[in-house]
Amino acid sequence: MKQYLMLTNEELKRSWKMIVSVILAMASIEILTVVGRVIYHERQIKEYMSYSKLTESEALRSFGKLSFGLASVYFGYIVLVGIVLVILYAVQIWYRDWFGESKYIYRLLLLPGSRAKIFFAKFTSLALVIISFIGLQWVVIQLSYAIFNWLIKDDYRTSSFNIPIELNQLYTMNLIDTLILVVLALFIVSFLFMLVLLERSYRKVKGLLFIVLEVVAFFIIMVGGMYVIEKLDFFLSQEISAIMLAIFVLYFVYTIWKSLRLLKWKISV
Partner 1 sequence: MLEVHGLKKRYGRKKPILEGVSFSVRPDSITCLIGLNGEGKSTILKAIMGLVPVDAGTVLVDGEVSREKIAFVPDLQTMPGYMTIGDALLYMSDYYPDWNPKVAEELMGLFKLLTTDKILELSKGNQAKFSLVLGFALDRPYLLLDEPFAGIDLFTKEQIAWIFSSHYMEGRGILMTTHEIIEIEHLIDRVVFLQDGRIIDEHDTEEMREVYGKSVQDRMREVYQR
Footprint of partner 1 (CB under 8 A): 3, 6, 10, 14, 100-104, 106-107, 109-112, 201, 204-206, 265-269
Smallest separation, CB 85 to partner 1 (Å): 21
- Closer residue to partner 1 (CB): 119 or 148: 119
Nearest CA-CA partner of 14 in 135, 121, 131 = 121
Smallest separation, CB 163 to partner 1 (Å): 39
Smallest separation, CB 6 to partner 1 (Å): 6
How far apart CA 210 and CA 213 sit, in angstroms, is 5
Smallest separation, CB 208 to partner 1 (Å): 13
- Closer residue to partner 1 (CB): 16 or 227: 16
Smallest separation, CB 257 to partner 1 (Å): 18
Residues belonging to the chain: 269
How far apart CA 7 and CA 263 sit, in angstroms, is 16
CB 93 within 8 A of CB 8: no
- Closer residue to partner 1 (CB): 104 or 187: 104
Residue 195, CA distances (Å) to 50, 192, 198, 227 in order = 60, 5, 5, 25
- Closer residue to partner 1 (CB): 134 or 262: 262
- Closer residue to partner 1 (CB): 140 or 197: 197
Nearest CA-CA partner of 123 in 193, 173, 21 = 193
Q: What is the 3-state secondary structure (H, E, C) of 51-73?
A: HHCCCHHHHHHHHCCECHHHHCC
